[in-house]
Amino acid sequence: MSEARVTRLLMISPDSMVTPDQLVRNVQTMAPGINVKETCYGCLAESDARTMEVVIAKVREQYRNEVFSKVRGFPVGDPRRCRAQHGTRPGFAQLEAEWATLPLIQSALDAIDAGDTDYDTPVEKKPLPVRELKQISEAFR
Amino acid sequence: MKVFIDPPNSMILFDLVERFGHEPLSSMALIQEKVDNIEVDMPPMNVTLDDVVKGLKYAGVEVPSGIRGRLAIWGPMIEAADAAIIIDNPPFSFGCVGCDRSNELTKYLIKRRKIPTLTVQYPNDEEEAKTMVGQIRDFLGGLKQ
C-alpha cells in the first residue's frame, strides 16, 4: 500500500451517541497534517501512513466499539466519486448493508470485552462417507 | 499475519482483523494503486490488458472478463494470504453483488491454497453477532501461536 497517501473511512455505529460533527472535530485534532471530510455516516480521513496509524490508534482508544474503519481506495473529494461533482457511488450498497449490521457488531464487541464468551464454536464440515450416503439413499428407496 | 477477507471490501471484517492484531488483505489498497498510478476510473470494472492476462491464471478464457478482472485483483491477494475469513449467507447487497461466480471462484481458490480458513455466518441477531465476533477473535488469536 502507498505510504504517501492513506485514506480511511470512519463509520459511526447507529447505536452510538457520537455525531459525525463531533467525530470530525476530534479526528482533526488528533494529529497535524490530516485532511478530514464529514460524511453522513462518519468521516473520511487522509494523511501519510505514519500519521494515520496514530490517528486510528487514538480513534480506537476513544471510540472503542462505536467507530469502525477501513481503507478507502479513492482520495477524499475525488471527482470520480465525490457526489458534489456527480461522481458515482458503486460501493454505497455495501456501506449501507454494513451500517445496518454495526449495532450487532458493537453489542457483540461490548459483550466480549465484558468477558462474555458464551458463543458457539465453528462447526467443522467433513465429507459424507460413502457408506452413510448409501444408507441415506437406501432409506428412501 | 496477512489475512484475506471475503468479501474483500468488507469494513466489518477489515476492522475486526485489524482490531485483533493482524493485517487484512482487502481490495481497497490494490484499487488505490490503480486509481493513483494508472488512473483507472472504476476498478475492478475497468480493467487493463495486463489485468485480463493476469486473471487468466485464475479463470479460464471462456469466463466473462468481469470475473477475470476481479480475480486479477483478488487472486494475488489469496496467494499472499497466510489465513482467510469468509462470511457465509450474507444479504444480497453485502459484498460483491455483481457476480456470484467470482465469489464461488474466490472460495475455491482459498480452499485450494489450504491455508487456515474460518467461515462465519452473517449475523441476524445479537447472539449470532457474538458468535461471529467471538469465532473471529479466537481464530485470529490462534494464528499468533
Taking the Cβ of residue A93 and every Cβ of chain B, the question of whether any pair is shorter than 8 Å is answered with: yes
Checking if the pLDDT of A80 tops 80, the result is no
Domain count, chain A: 1
Question: pLDDT-derived band of residue B52, with 50, 70 and 90 as boundaries?
Answer: confident
What pLDDT score was predicted for residue B37? 75
Strands A67-72 and B23-25: unpaired
Q: Is residue A78 part of a domain?
A: yes
Residue B117: C-alpha distances to residues B5, B14, B123 (Å): 10, 15, 18
Checking if the pLDDT of B99 tops 80, the result is no
Q: Is residue A54 part of a domain?
A: yes
Specify burial of residue A88 (Cβ count, 10 A radius: 0-12, 13-18, 19+): exposed
Give the helix/strand (H/E) hosting A27. Answer: helix A20-28
Q: What is the phi-psi region of residue A98: left when phi exceeds 0, alpha when psi lies from -120 to 50, beta otherwise?
A: alpha
Q: Is residue A95 part of a domain?
A: yes
What pLDDT score was predicted for residue B45? 63
- Which residue would you say has higher pLDDT here, B49 or B87? B87
What are all long-range contacts of A57-60, with beta carbons under 8 Å and residues at least 24 apart? A58/A30, A58/A31, A59/A10, A59/A27, A59/A30, A60/B19
Interface with chain A: mutation pick from B130, B132, B135, B136, highest number of A CBs within 10 Å: B130
A20-24, A89-93, A115-119, A128-132: lowest mean pLDDT where? A89-93
What is the pLDDT of chain B when averaged over all its residues?
86
What pLDDT score was predicted for residue A87? 67
What sign has the CA pseudo-torsion A57, A25, A52, A65? positive
How close, in Å, is residue B61 to chain A by CA atoms?
A: 27
The CATH number of residue A66's host domain is 3.30.70
What pLDDT score was predicted for residue B109? 93
Checking if the pLDDT of B5 tops 70, the result is yes
* Interchain pair B19, A60: CB under 8 A: yes
* Phi and psi angles of residue B31, each rounded to the nearest 5 degrees, phi first: -65, -35
Percent residues over pLDDT 70 in chain B: 90
Domain ranges of chain B: 2-143
**A-to-B residue pairs, Cβ atoms closer than 8 angstroms:** 124
Determine the structural domain holding residue A55 and report its residue range. 6-113
pLDDT tens digit string along A4-58? 889 999 999 999 999 999 999 999 999 998 999 998 999 999 999 999 999 999 9
* Interchain pair B135, A122: CB under 8 A: yes
A17-31, B43-57, B105-119: lowest mean pLDDT where? B43-57
Interface with chain B: mutation pick from A9, A43, A120, A126, highest number of B CBs within 10 Å: A120
Checking if the pLDDT of B48 tops 80, the result is no
How close, in Å, is residue B75 to chain A by CA atoms?
A: 17
Residue A15: Cβ within 10 Å count: 14
Question: pLDDT-derived band of residue B83, with 50, 70 and 90 as boundaries?
Answer: very high
What pLDDT score was predicted for residue B97? 66
What pLDDT score was predicted for residue B39? 67
The answer to whether B131 and B88 have CB atoms below 8 angstroms apart is no
Global confidence as pTM = 0.88
Q: Is residue A41 part of a domain?
A: yes
Fold observed for domain B2-143: Rossmann fold (3.40.50)
What pLDDT score was predicted for residue B9? 87
